[in-house]
Amino acid sequence: MYRITYNFKKSHFEAWFWLIAIALLAFFNPNSEHASLCIAKNINFGFCPGCGLGHSIAWLFRGQFVCSLQAHPLGIFAVIILIYRSLSLLKNDFSIRKKNTIICKTFN
């Protein structure tokens, strides 16, 4: 048997935020109309460089790559960057050990 331990650090908040956001967008229905959090869209500014990014990510997780690119051309790139960033923040903080091993620490 193996035991997995995890040491939480303040820098991990960002990593978990992005991973949870991507997971929520994966379950988001891209066909639905919803209230937008985009300030530019809510004040009828006209142009927002981020509009459609959430839809693009939702289409991506459904395997609809053409729809993903049509919703926002940087959606696939954003997912890759956010996952890479999250994993780089979390690396080296998971440890796997056998459950019954004794770890001796000597203090000199």
Global pTM value: 0.70
pLDDT tens, position by position, 22-75: 999 888 888 877 666 677 777 877 777 888 888 899 999 999 999 999 989 999
- Res 81: pLDDT: 95
Identify which of 11, 12, 8, 15 has the alpha carbon closest to the alpha carbon of residue 82: 15
